[in-house]
Amino acid sequence: MLKIKNTGAKIVVNDFAEHEITYAFHDIDGTHSLIREWPPVMSICLFDVIQNGLSDDFDSEENEKRLINLAGKEPHPETDRFCVESAGLSALTQMEWAIRRAVEDGKISVDCDKEKNSEIIKRIWNGEEQFDGFGEKKEMLDMLTEKTPRLFKLYEKVLNGYCRDKNLADAIKNPDKYRVGGSMEFMKFLHGNGVKNYFVTGAVVEKGMGMWEEVVGLGYPIGKGEIAEDIIGSTWTEKLPKEVIMKHLREKLGIDGKNILVVGDGRAEILAGAEMGAVTVSRLPESAKEQRALHKKLGTNIIVEDYNNEEFKKLFSK
């Protein structure tokens, strides 16, 4: 039986009672894995949409190569900030935001209610993902249904070409280089004390490919009784917010939120964890002042730079 309690350490930013932990839901990117240097890639992809709209062949191989060459070259204040603040949202929602911004700026022409579109843009920035009750026009919804998955796939291709493929190849040889400090030891500690670990991601999960391949490449076995029981993720076409994924997983497992440890670096998983009554751990660098302030406001209990923190280790007892 593993317990976690507030010791009064500085890393505890919101009080919590003693909890028995039987399950842990972990984000992957930025929380345990450093393979995907995704912010500059997403920023240029979203910036390009807002500036230029979407041509019929926007997801061509030629455009993919152009975006790979542009990624990380120049600052783009709006999209750079959006990527930081929207971390944890499903990638489809992040793509949708850029398309809606292009509509708002007149770079994409479609019959829509402009006021509703602008309101949804604001809501996405504030962490919302589901807008079924807005009663938007069919033309707008059809355009989003067709364009958003294509933009998502383009982004993944640009990410692969910019860093993911070469970093994965290196990570298989040098996994420690691409793991957050103390990550493997922390996962093994939880597993060794009877906690069942699940990875939860906004990326698409296909066995033997993509995020699955990255997790295994970093040395985390996946399967019943392994360090990680499973990876639960999104799809290319269906928007699956972390809160929905985590809620369904909790219901499937038949567990109480108070017995779950939620670990992440994005607003979505931290807010979802706080709302289900879990103990939440935000993995954020010391330099990420704004993100740390945001996570504290969202209700995270603990903020650490990595899992080697001695105060963090002392929160757990058997």
pLDDT digits (tens, 9 = 90+) for 44-93: 999 999 999 999 999 999 999 999 999 999 999 999 999 988 988 999 99
Note whether 242 and 90 are within 8 A (CB).
Answer: yes
pLDDT digits (tens, 9 = 90+) for 164-183: 999 999 999 999 999 999 99
Say what the pLDDT of residue 143 is. 98
Question: For tokens 């935000």, what's the residue?
Answer: 282
What are the helix (H) ranges across 160-241?
A: 165-173, 183-192, 210-217
Q: Percent of the chain scored above 90 by pLDDT? A: 90
Where do the domains of the chain lie? 2-34+179-317, 38-173
2-34+179-317: CATH, from 3.30.70.2740, 1.10.10.10, 3.40.50.1000, 3.40.190.10: 3.40.50.1000
d(CA 111, CA 63): 27
pLDDT digits (tens, 9 = 90+) for 235-257: 788 778 888 999 999 999 999 99
Instruction: Read off the pTM.
Output: 0.92
The b/e string for 148-169 (b: 16+ C-beta within 10 A; e otherwise) is: bbebbbbbbbbbbbbbbeebbe
d(CA 318, CA 193): 8
